[in-house]
Chains A and B, each alone.
Chain A
C-alpha cells in the first residue's frame, strides 16, 4: 500500500505570497494517478489538479501542479483571500484510492 505524506502540515502566508505544498508518495507512482483538492470549512472538496499537472474545470491559472515519481507539488503563485483552505493530494493505486493528511494554508 502506497502512503501519501503531505508537508508542511500548516503553511502560514500572507495574501499575494507564493504557496508551495508537497505530496510525497512512499513509492514511485504514475503522474496520471495524482490529484489535488481544495477544501474550505463546511464544504465538500473541490478538484484543482488531476494527472499531477492538469487543471480541473474552472480552476484559475494561479494554481499549478508538478512533479513525478514520488514527489509532487501544488503551487499557488499569488495567494488570494479565497485560497486559504486545506489542500489534499489523492492517489489512485491498484484500483484503490488514497488521500494525504492535508496541508492547511492559513493567513499569517
Chain B
C-alpha cells in the first residue's frame, strides 16, 4: 500500500525559505521509472505542478518557479524534500506530494493529504 505524507512549517515569513518533506512508504525511489512530484493549490484555486524527481535523480521544475525551487531525495529515508526560496504571500497554498508510477504512465496515482502553508509576516 502506497502512502505519502507532507510535513513542514504551517507559517513562514515573506522572504524566508520554505522546506517541505514528503515521507512515503509502499514503494522505493530507487525503482526504475518511479517519480515523486510536488503540486500546490492556493485556497480556492486550481492545482499547480511545481517539481518532480525521478529514481535516477533526474529533476524537472515548473519553468515559472525554477529559479526558486530545489527538489532532492533521500532514498534510504524514503523522503523527498522541496525547498522554495524567497517566499511571498502568493505562495500561500496547500502543498501536495504525489507518486508517478512509471515512465509509461503520465499521471499521479497516489497523493499525500497535503499541508497548508501560510506566508505572512
Contact = CB atoms under 8 A, between A and B. Distances in A.
Interface string B71-111: 00000000000000000000000001000000001111101
Contacts of B39: 45, 97, 99
Nearest to A33: B106
Nearest to B52: A97
A57 B109 contact: yes
A47 interface: yes
User: Interface majority SS on B: helix, strand, loop or mixed?
Assistant: loop
B46 A47 contact: no
A103 to B, nearest CB: 11
A76 B80 CA distance: 35
B107 A96 contact: no
A50 interface: yes
A108 to B, nearest CB: 22
A45 B60 contact: no
A88 interface: yes
In the complex, which range does the number of interface residues on chain B fall in? 20 to 34
Which bracket fits the contact residues of A?
20 to 34
Nearest to B110: A47
Interface in A83-99: 88, 90, 92, 95-99
Contact of A100 (B46, B62, B106): B46
A56 interface: yes
Given A1-B63, A95-B60, A88 B107 contact: no
A99 B63 contact: no
Contact of B48 (A44, A56, A99): A99
Interface of B: 37, 39, 46-49, 52, 60, 62-63, 96, 105-109, 111-114
- Those 9 A-B pairs whose CB atoms lie nearest each other, nearest first: A35-B107, A92-B106, A97-B49, A44-B111, A50-B107, A99-B47, A101-B46, A33-B106, A95-B60
Interface of A: 1, 32-35, 37, 39, 44-47, 50-51, 56-57, 88, 90, 92, 95-102
